[in-house]
Structure 1
Amino acid sequence: MRPRLVTGLYSAAALAAFGLLFTSCATRTPSVSTTEHSALPTMERVMLNANACWFKSADPAFAGYQLAPELNSYTGRPRILVVDKKHPTGRPSLVVQAEGNPAQLQAFGPMMNGASGGRITGDVNRWAAGTKGC
C-alpha cells in the first residue's frame, strides 16, 4: 500500500483502489520505493524534506512561515505545522498529518487553497513515497 496525501475524508486504501489522489483535482501518484509505510516514519521523511526544501532553501513561497513539527503525538497522528513567523502560536497556515499503517496522509489549511497548494501536494506525495530532495 502506498502512502498518499488525502484531502477530505477518503482513506488511502479507498483511493488506492481507484489509483487516484484527491486534492483540488485528481492526479496520478508516484510509486513508493520505500519499505516503511507507517505514519511516524512517513512524517519524519516529509518533515526533513519540507525543512530542507521549503525553509532552509529560502523558498519565497514559505518566507513568512516557519516549520513546527509535532511528530511525538499521543493521538497516533504525527504532523507538521507551517505557522506564521510573526505569530508562531497562532492558527497554522498548513497542517500535514498522517495516521495508521500504511500511512494515510492529510493536508489542510489556507495554504492548500492558495497558489502553493498543488506544489505542496506534489512535494508531500513525493517525500511520503520515499523520494528525497526538492
Structure 2
Amino acid sequence: MRLFARTALIALSALAASCSTARAPAPQASMRALPVMERVALGANACWFKSGDPAFKKYRLAPELNSFSGTPRILVVPAHSPESRPLLVVQASGEQAKLSAFGPMMHDASVSGRINADVLRWARGGKGC
C-alpha cells in the first residue's frame, strides 16, 4: 500500500508541475536585417500590392533580400517599367536592424507617413494592413 501511495504522490507531483500556470515568454521577432526585411517584404506584398491598394496600383514590388553587402532591401518600381529607377527603397542593415526608407515616394505626403508606419509595424513583427 505504501508503494502505491508513493507512486501516486510522484505521479500527482509530475502532473502538477506540467500544469503550471507560468508560461514561457513569447519568442521575440528577430531584429537582424534579413528577417526584418523578410517581414517587411511579406507585409508590403500583401497589403500594398496584392490587396489592390489604390495608392500602390501603379507600382510593383522588387525584393532584393539576398544581398552580399548585408543590406537586404525592397524596391518599389513602376509597374510597367520594372527596370526603371526605384521610386522607393526600404533597406535594413546590421545585427540590430537599422531601417531606412528613401526615394521620391518618401517626399509624397499622401503615402510617406503610411509607408513609415507600415514598415515599422512589419519590422517589429506586426501583422496586417
Q: For 1:42-57, list aligned pairs within 5 A.
A: 42-57=36-51
Identity %: 63
Aligned to 1:77: 71
* 1:13-51 CA distance string (max 9 Å, x none): xxxxxxxxxxxxxxxxxxxx8331100000000000100
State how far apart, in whole Å, the 2-side matches of 1:43 and 1:100 are. 12
Query: Partners of 2:35 and 2:83 in 1: how far apart?
Result: 26
Match of 1:40 in 2: 34
Q: Which residue of 1 aligns with 2:119?
A: 124
- Per the alignment, residue 6 of structure 1 pairs with none
What does the per-residue CA deviation read over 1:99-134, in whole Å, with 9 as the maximum and x for residues that have no partner? 001000000001111010000000000000110110
CA distance in 2: counterparts of 1:77 and 1:84, whole angstroms: 22
How many residues align? The count is 102
Gaps of 5+ in 1: 1-32
Separation in 1, partners of 2:128, 2:39: 10
2:54 match? 60
The structure that has the greater radius of gyration is 2
Corresponding residue of 2:105: 111
Partners of 1:34 and 1:82 lie apart in 2 by 28
* Structure 2 unmatched ranges of 5 or more: 1-26
Shift of 1:86: 1.5
Q: Indicate conservation of the 8 Å contact 2:29/2:124, yes or no.
A: no
Q: Compute the RMSD of aligned alpha carbons.
A: 1.0
Moved over 3 A (4+): none
Retained in 1: the 8 A contact 2:70–2:94?
Answer: yes
What TM-score results when the alignment is normalised by the length of structure 2?
0.77
Query: Normalising by structure 1, what TM-score?
Result: 0.74
